[in-house]
């Protein structure tokens, strides 16, 4: 599945933040998003994941193909690592969670409640969710926050394996993951401030 984004214009809280974004993400390829804080990387990823509509422009090829990882991991502290992961596997209709536990070195923590994990371990569990989704396009927002160096290596290995299997990844990160990936700096695409002619727009 090739993700095609053309001339995208997006807004956060009713104010345009980025415009003219175009890229193509082919199977087996990764694209790294860069840009200063607040430029709209998260908004762009949420648009692509389908959580919010774009002002204009087109996103094609991503329908039912995207697995999205946000800032927060969506873990339930009262459930164990296995139960958390099993839930997402069931929701996405995939079976095995073993490979996901192994890929992020969570096997020894499998019966621990997610609430008792450290920040980095939680993050690893959140990222392992991507492996049980069985979806081709990974859209990830700052996935390496609170990961130590060896966990970052685990993550990079997982992404590399995913790319090798024909998947693709769109990652907003400032860390060098050691991937052969294109880099898209969204800084130059900053939208011009909007004149307030569309007063009702913020409510729609």
Partner 1 sequence: MIALLLRDLRLAVRAGGGFGLGLAFFLIVTVMVPFSVGPESELLARIAPGVLWLGALLSCLLSLDRLLALDWEDGSLDLLATAPLPLEAVVSIKALAHWITTGLPLVLAAPVLGILLNLPLEGFRWVVISLFLGTPALSVIGTFGAALTVGLKRGGLLLSLLVMPLYVPTLIFGAEVARRGAMGMGVETPVLMLAGISAAVIALMPFASAAVLRINLR
CB atoms within 10 A of CB 15: 13
Helices (H) and strands (E) in the chain, counts: 5, 8
DSSP, residue by residue, 175-193: S------EEEE-GGGBPPP
Rounded least distance, CB 49 to partner 1, Å? 5
Q: Tell me: does residue 53 bind partner 1 (CB under 8 A).
A: yes
Question: Minimum distance between the CB of residue 188 and partner 1, rounded to whole angstroms?
Answer: 25
Q: What are the structure tokens assigned to 3, written together?
A: 């993700």
**DSSP conformation class of 2:** -
- What are the angstrom distances between the C-alpha of 158 and each of 21, 103, 178? 27, 7, 12
- Please give the torsion angle defined by the CA atoms of residues 190, 61, 1 and 93, in that order, rounded to the nearest 10 degrees: 110
Structure tokens at 143: 């996935």
Radius of gyration of the chain measured on its C-alpha atoms: 18
CA 169, CA 151: separation in Å to the nearest integer?
Answer: 18
Sole window of 24-32, 69-77, 102-110, 189-197 interacting with partner 1 (rule: CB under 8 A): 69-77
Work out whether 64 is an interface residue with partner 1 (CB under 8 A): yes
Which residue in the set 32, 41, 54, 88 belongs to the binding site for partner 1 (CB under 8 A)?
88
Is 50 one of the binding residues for partner 1 (CB under 8 A)? Answer: yes
Burial class of 138 by CB neighbour count within 10 A (0 to 12, 13 to 18, 19+): buried
Q: Is 153 in the site for partner 1 (CB under 8 A)?
A: no
Q: Give the x/- contact pattern for partner 1 in 1-40, rule: CB under 8 A.
A: ----------------------------------------
Find the binder of partner 1 among 18, 21, 32, 67 (CB under 8 A).
Answer: 67
Interface residues for partner 1 in 106-125 (CB under 8 A)?
none
The yes or no reply on residue 51 touching partner 1 (CB under 8 A) is: yes
- Closest distance to partner 1 from the beta carbon of 185 (Å): 25
To partner 1, the closest distance from the beta carbon of 172 in angstroms equals: 15
CB nearer to partner 1: give 90 or 102: 90
Task: Name which position in 15, 24, 91, 116 contacts partner 1 (CB under 8 A).
Answer: 91
Residues forming contacts to partner 1 in the complex (CB under 8 A) are 46, 49-53, 64, 66-79, 83, 86-88, 90-93, 129
């Amino acid at each position: 599945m090739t993700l095609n984004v053309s001339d995208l214009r997006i807004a956060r809280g009713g104010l345009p933040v980025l415009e003219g974004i175009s890229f193509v993400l082919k199977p087996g390829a990764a694209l790294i998003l860069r840009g200063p804080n607040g430029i709209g990387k998260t908004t762009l990823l949420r648009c692509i994941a389908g959580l919010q509509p774009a002002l204009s422009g087109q996103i094609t090829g991503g329908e039912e193909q995207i697995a999205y990882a946000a800032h927060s991991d969506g873990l339930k502290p009262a459930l164990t690592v296995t139960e958390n992961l099993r839930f997402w596997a069931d929701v996405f209709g995939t079976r095995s969670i073993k490979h996901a536990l192994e890929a992020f070195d969570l096997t020894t923590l499998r019966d621990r409640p997610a609430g008792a994990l450290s920040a980095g371990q939680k993050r690893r569990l959140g990222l392992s969710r991507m492996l049980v989704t069985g979806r081709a396009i990974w859209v990830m927002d700052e996935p390496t926050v609170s990961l130590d160096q060896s966990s970052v290596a685990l993550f990079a290995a997982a992404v590399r394996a995913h790319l090798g299997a024909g998947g693709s990844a769109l990652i907003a990160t400032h860390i060098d993951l050691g991937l052969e990936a294109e880099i898209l700096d969204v800084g130059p695409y900053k939208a011009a401030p909007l004149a307030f002619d569309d007063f009702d727009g913020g409510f729609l």
